Amino acid sequence: MLIYEMKLKGTQSQYRRLDEAIRTGRFVRNSVFRAWLDGQVKSRNDAYKHCKVLSDNREFPWVSKLNSMARQAHAERAWASIERFYRNCRQKIPGKKGFPRFKKYQVRASVEYKTSGWKLSDDRRYLAFTDKFQAGTFKLWGSRNLHFYQIQQIKRVRVIRRHDGYYAQFLIDHEREEKKELTEKQTGLDVGLNYFYTDCSGNQIDNPRFLRKDERKLKKLQRRLSRTQKGSQNRKKARNLLGRAHLKVSRRRNDWVCKLAQHVIQSNDLVAVENLRIRNMVKNHHLAKSISDAAWYKFREWLEYFGRIYGVPVIAVEPAYTSQKCSNCGEKVVKTLSTRTHKCSRCGYMSDRDENAAKNILKSALKQLANTVGQTEINASGEPDLCLNGETQLSKSTCRKRKPKS
264-304 pLDDT, tens digit each: 999 998 999 999 888 888 888 888 999 999 999 999 999 99
Give the CB-side neighbour count of residue 135, counting CA atoms within 13 A: 30
Q: Is the predicted pLDDT of residue 374 greater than 60, yes or no?
A: no
Structural domain contains residue 66: yes
Q: What is the mean pLDDT of the chain?
A: 86
Order of strands across the sheet with 270-274?
204-206, 195-199, 186-191, 270-274, 314-317
Q: How many folded domains does the chain comprise?
A: 1
Residue 71 resides in a domain: yes
Dihedral pair phi/psi, residue 247, rounded to 5°: -60, -40
- Would residue 182 count as lying in a domain? no
Domain-embedded: residue 205? no
Backbone φ, ψ for residue 388 (5° rounding): -105, 145
Whether residue 394 has pLDDT greater than 60: no
Q: Is residue 67 part of a domain?
A: yes
Cα gap 359→345, rounded to integer Å: 18
Task: List pLDDT tens digits, range 120-175.
Answer: 998 889 999 999 999 999 999 988 888 888 889 999 999 999 999 999 999 999 88
Looking at residue 388, what is its pLDDT?
37
List Cα–Cα distances, 314 to 2, 203, 301, 321, 368, in angstroms: 20, 19, 10, 20, 12
Other beta carbons within 10 angstroms of residue 149's beta carbon come to: 16
**Sign of the CA dihedral 390, 392, 393, 394?**
negative
Which residues fall within 8 angstroms of residue 346, CB to CB, at 6 or more apart? 326, 329, 331
Cβ-contact 29, 47 below 8 angstroms: no
Q: Which domain holds residue 146?
A: 2-172
Let me know if residue 121 belongs to a domain.
yes
Q: Is 89 within a domain?
A: yes
Residue 73: pLDDT band with limits 50, 70, 90: very high
Residue 277 domain flag: no
